[in-house]
Amino acid sequence: MAILAQKTHFFFSLVFIFSLSFQPISSLSTIAISKTSNQTLVCALISSSLYPQQSSLNCTSFPQGIQIPLNPSVSFTGIVGGNGFLCGLTSSSNSIMVCWRFSDNGTDLNYKRVYIGPLLTNLDSGNSHVCGIVNGTNRLQCWQWREFSSSNNSLITSNLAVGEDFVCGLLPLRQIQCLGSYRNVTDAVPVGNYSEIAAGSQYACAISMNGSLDCWGNMVGEKPVDQFKSLALGDNRGCGLKVDGKVVCWGEIGFSLPSNLSDISFETLEAKQDIFCGIETSIYSLFCWGNEIFNSNPVVYDGVQVVPGPCTTSCPCAPLGNYARFCGQELMICEHCVWPGFGQNPPIVNGSGPSPPPLSPQPTPAPSQWSTRNVVFLVVGCVGSLMMLSVLVILFLKYCKSRGCRVHDSGRLDEAGTPPQQGSQTSQVQDQLGPQPSILEKRPSKFLSMGNGGHLEEFSLQLLLQVTNNFSEEHKIGTGSFGSVYHATLDDGREVAIKRAEASASSSYAGGSKYRQEDKDSAFLNELEFLSRLNHKNLVTLYGYCEDNNERVLVFEYMNNGTLHDHLHKLETSSLISWTARIKVALDAARGIEYLHEYAVPAVIHRDIKSSNILLDTNGNAKVSDFGLSLMGPQEDESHLSLRAAGTVGYMDPEYYRLQQLTTKSDVYSFGVMMLELLSGYKAIHKNENGVPRNVVDFVVPYIVQDEIHRVLDGRVPPPTPFEIEAVSYVGYLAADCTTLEGRDRPTMTEIVNNLERALQACLTTPNFSRSNTDSST
Ligand SMILES: *[C@@H]1O[C@H](CO)[C@@H](O)[C@H](O)[C@H]1NC(C)=O
Ligand SMILES: *[C@@H]1O[C@H](CO)[C@@H](O)[C@H](O)[C@H]1NC(C)=O
Ligand SMILES: *[C@@H]1O[C@H](CO)[C@@H](O)[C@H](O)[C@H]1NC(C)=O
Ligand SMILES: *[C@@H]1O[C@H](CO)[C@@H](O)[C@H](O)[C@H]1NC(C)=O
Ligand SMILES: *[C@@H]1O[C@H](CO)[C@@H](O)[C@H](O)[C@H]1NC(C)=O
Ligand SMILES: *[C@@H]1O[C@H](CO)[C@@H](O)[C@H](O)[C@H]1NC(C)=O
Ligand SMILES: *[C@@H]1O[C@H](CO)[C@@H](O)[C@H](O)[C@H]1NC(C)=O
Ligand SMILES: *[C@@H]1O[C@H](CO)[C@@H](O)[C@H](O)[C@H]1NC(C)=O
Ligand SMILES: *[C@@H]1O[C@H](CO)[C@@H](O)[C@H](O)[C@H]1NC(C)=O
Ligand SMILES: *[C@@H]1O[C@H](CO)[C@@H](O)[C@H](O)[C@H]1NC(C)=O
């Protein structure tokens, strides 16, 4: 248990170290309110006494009931909550979001990872949905919202606000955009420039540049007339934070701020349904109000410093005065903007014409009439962090020059391509793939002409009998799906693997009645011809064939280092005892399969990806074998064909049973199983401690999505170094995504190749100095 805690801490401290230099301006919350029908869970990020400058999540249930098991060493950058859920975001070069679910009954003690990918710059939740904005592309992505999972017409870059069936936010030039199906809100968006926006379940309000409120949708009650800097809206009620820090509430009859809170100044507010919470300005205590429980005792955290906002690299207006104890030195917490003057537009930054272009996710305009205090803070903050940053960058570059290191590697793990995500835009990719019309086995066998390209040699049966000593047992090296495999050396010195079809298979092939023998023969040759043209350094080369008297024999390049299966499960000594070597094997195999899926015309579905079909040569290169061999089956026997198509037990795509349709995503599933095998060292189907058969997917994936992959890593490989752990856990997430039940949620082989390349890169270029930054107790 101690080891576990240490390792988890270790992983997250790594995340934390990376977070210092990459954090863009973000709109995240440090308070979350979650509800069940009779309980309220208030969570806050509080300044950690154990881990300086980290914020640990602390939750309290009112009345006592919901119990979230929390690890105080995990540092979150933002949290959101809603009906029966709480989600926390950790950010480094990637963002990872995990969610807990609970009900009146109790809590599911396991959290679930719902996102890993490029940084999320904004995150907000309504009662049921969670949405975020992805850095770089500014794509809007939502979770727990089947009808609206991601929108490509969102231009929102800041102030994301999620309601019941709508989401609003600000565009770079501060106009409002609302999307979703709740037309009372989406059709009534006010025109103008706004500084902040908030969403209740059925309405939204925004603060215009002069501080006044504009509300639309189904709002209850009269909006207050005053000057505001921030808002929080619930169901039929709302509260606003005035420029002077005092709070005003409005809404359904009987709702107002409890009178003994009216003198307190607040830094920021949060709301969900009937509950409102605010962080007070002087010592960052947390107060909540809205129902009898809180109104009679509004103090949730007193004397415990609640982090007053997300730590970020720069502020659109002013930073808080005393953020240093919450964030690292380069980071700051921003105050809510108060735009100067009434009825004026925000000042235009000198020299850049109208407001700066909408490239960055942060709000763009800069204020002009700062108070002296703010200017001082800003100047000190900017100069300080700039100097600090330059010194760090110079030191780092100097170091890199001498060592060669990964300046952006942790970013590269995800910056291009689609990150593996549950139920997200991978479905769009699948739509493009569509049903696979060009699958090899559906192809009429005569669509290639008989012309021989000259690639393929025809071997005589006599020669093959001679070199294998009549297919003797000494030459036999294995039994594949196609038949037996023999090792032999040809006269010209080439080492070959000879695959001989089982007699039964060939006789059943010969015994068909629908096709004439010549048709079958020419089909066989056509298909071999096609296979021989598939040329890729990660595919085993087909040299030739022999067809004689119902004998069907294929002659392949011999791979003298055996199968991946043997390396993982049989051999006493193996070359695959480093994480780098294992990720390299996965990448090689992925490239071979990607070639079959993406570059072969027509596309080839391998249908039997498994560790015993991945072969290794002496240089540690891996190649895929046995592709296309399913074609050798009898064509008229549909049931045999589909049986054959399903592949090997333990690697089979479960969706294939349901839909009876084979797609490239079936290979992706099998490949995911193989990656789990590489990581855990367990066979696809293996026996547990009690001798009961167990599937590697069922056993390993739950650890991966819990961020506890270190508990199931193959003990034959030394524990990952601090830099390998990020790569290894990333490969784990990739494998988990490959083995999701729905094919459309699985990544494509191209995405897998891209991700494995980044993981391998991260392993290969390990700067040694970084280890001294972490307590590398592995
Ligand atoms: C949450 O905060 C309370 C009050 O400061 C403290 O007693 C408790 O140990 C904290 N819980 C966790 C899990 O940090
Ligand atoms: C909440 O309600 C459920 C039944 O709806 C009950 O089982 C549970 O004990 C209640 N919890 C509290 C804290 O009252
Ligand atoms: C307990 O939870 C289950 C599902 O988690 C739900 O179906 C059931 O209604 C709940 N029971 C009560 C009393 O809330
Ligand atoms: C965020 O996106 C910007 C623009 O694409 C990019 O320059 C920056 O590196 C990204 N930041 C991170 C941490 O990914
Ligand atoms: C995204 O864009 C594509 C075309 O570029 C369009 O077909 C699709 O409907 C759009 N999706 C959404 C959710 O707007
Ligand atoms: C939209 O607003 C109208 C009145 O403003 C109201 O009658 C209607 O019920 C609202 N629609 C929904 C779905 O709330
Ligand atoms: C909004 O701001 C832009 C400049 O960013 C300005 O040109 C425009 O007039 C403003 N619109 C309103 C309604 O104030
Ligand atoms: C603030 O600006 C809005 C337009 O953005 C305008 O309708 C309103 O009258 C202004 N309020 C004051 C007090 O100037
Ligand atoms: C606030 O007032 C309520 C009664 O309205 C009282 O019960 C409560 O103790 C007061 N809380 C504080 C912190 O003064
Ligand atoms: C803009 O810059 C010019 C010189 O670069 C200066 O003279 C002018 O006062 C500046 N304007 C503002 C509004 O700061």
- d(CA 151, CA 141) in angstroms, rounded, equals 7
Give CA separation, 399 vs 404, 413, 771, in Å: 8, 22, 14
> Which residue's CA is the nearest one to ligand 5's atom 6?
152
Average pLDDT rounded to a whole number, residues 42-68: 85
409 is catalytic: no
Q: Select which of 409, 608, 653, 707 is catalytic.
A: 608
- What is residue 15's predicted lDDT score, i.e. its pLDDT? 35
In this structure, how many other beta carbons lie within 10 angstroms of the beta carbon of residue 535? Answer: 12
pLDDT at 254 over 50: yes
Average pLDDT rounded to a whole number, residues 706-728: 87
> How does pLDDT run across 414-463, given as a tens digit for each residue?
222 333 333 333 333 333 333 333 333 333 332 233 333 446 788 888 88
> What distance in angstroms lies between residue 209's CA and the mean position of ligand 7's atoms?
10
pLDDT at 360 over 60: no
- d(CA 419, CA 208) in angstroms, rounded, equals 37
Structure tokens at 425: 């835009």
What angle do the packed helices 664-680 and 722-738 form, to 10 degrees? 140
pLDDT at 316 over 50: yes
> How does pLDDT run across 117-164, given as a tens digit for each residue?
888 999 999 999 999 999 888 889 999 887 887 777 899 999 999 999
In this structure, how many other beta carbons lie within 10 angstroms of the beta carbon of residue 297? Answer: 12
Q: Cα angle vertex 685, ends 681, 691, to 5°?
A: 95
DSSP string across 88-133: EEEESSEEEEEEEEEETTEE-SS-EEEEEEEPEEEEEE-SS-EEEE
Cβ(117) – ligand 4 distance below 6 Å: no
Share of residues in the chain with pLDDT > 90 (%): 42
> How does pLDDT run across 164-199, given as a tens digit for each residue?
999 999 998 899 999 999 999 999 999 999 999 999
Mean pLDDT lowest among 61-65, 240-244, 502-506, 538-542: 502-506
Give me the amino acid identity at 178: C
Give this prediction's pTM: 0.64
Cβ(108) – ligand 3 distance below 6 Å: no
> What distance in angstroms lies between residue 86's CA and the mean position of ligand 3's atoms?
18
Give CA separation, 127 vs 34, 85, 160, 536, 540, in Å: 8, 9, 15, 52, 54
**Most confident stretch, 227-231, 315-319, 345-349, 352-356:** 227-231
Give yes or no for a contact between 237 and 198, defined as CB atoms under 8 angstroms apart. Answer: no
DSSP string across 707-732: T-GGGTS-TTSPPPPHHHHHHHHHHH
pLDDT at 270 over 50: yes
Per 3-state DSSP, what percentage of the chain is helix, strand, and coil (rounded to 5)?
A: 30, 25, 45
- What is residue 113's predicted lDDT score, i.e. its pLDDT? 82
pLDDT at 268 over 60: yes
Q: Is the peptide bond before 63 cis (omega within 30 degrees of 0)?
A: yes
Q: How confident is the model at residue 481 (pLDDT cuts 50, 70, 90)?
A: low
Structure tokens at 620: 């540690």
Q: What is the mean pLDDT of the chain?
A: 76
pLDDT at 699 over 60: yes
User: Which residue matches tokens 């090689």?
Assistant: 588
> How does pLDDT run across 631-643, given as a tens digit for each residue?
443 333 333 334 4
With b for 16 or more beta-carbon neighbours within 10 A and e for fewer, the 618-636 pattern comes to: eeeebbbbbbbbbbbbbbe
Q: What is the CA radius of gyration of the chain?
A: 31
Give yes or no for a contact between 319 and 312, defined as CB atoms under 8 angstroms apart. Answer: no
First to last CA, the chain: 14
Cβ(151) – ligand 5 distance below 6 Å: yes
Structure tokens at 228: 């505001």
- What is residue 516's predicted lDDT score, i.e. its pLDDT? 55
In this structure, how many other beta carbons lie within 10 angstroms of the beta carbon of residue 485? Answer: 20
Mean pLDDT lowest among 102-106, 524-528, 677-681, 741-745: 524-528
Q: Residues marked as binding for ATP?
A: 499
Average pLDDT rounded to a whole number, residues 358-384: 34
- What is residue 60's predicted lDDT score, i.e. its pLDDT? 94
- d(CA 206, CA 204) in angstroms, rounded, equals 7
Phi, psi dihedrals of residue 612, rounded to the nearest 5° = -80, -5
Q: How confident is the model at residue 503 (pLDDT cuts 50, 70, 90)?
A: low
User: Which residue matches tokens 């060669």?
Assistant: 404
Q: Ligand 2, residues 34, 38, 291: which to mutate, most atoms within 8 A of Cβ?
A: 38
> How does pLDDT run across 593-618, given as a tens digit for each residue?
999 999 988 888 888 899 999 999 98
Average pLDDT rounded to a whole number, residues 610-627: 91
Give yes or no for a contact between 43 and 28, defined as CB atoms under 8 angstroms apart. Answer: no
> How does pLDDT run across 1-36, given as a tens digit for each residue?
333 333 333 333 333 333 333 345 578 999 999 999
**Closest ligand 3 atom to the C-alpha of 105?**
1
- d(CA 199, CA 161) in angstroms, rounded, equals 5
The binding-site residues of ligand 8, defined as CB within 6 angstroms of any ligand atom, are: 192, 208, 210, 212, 342-343
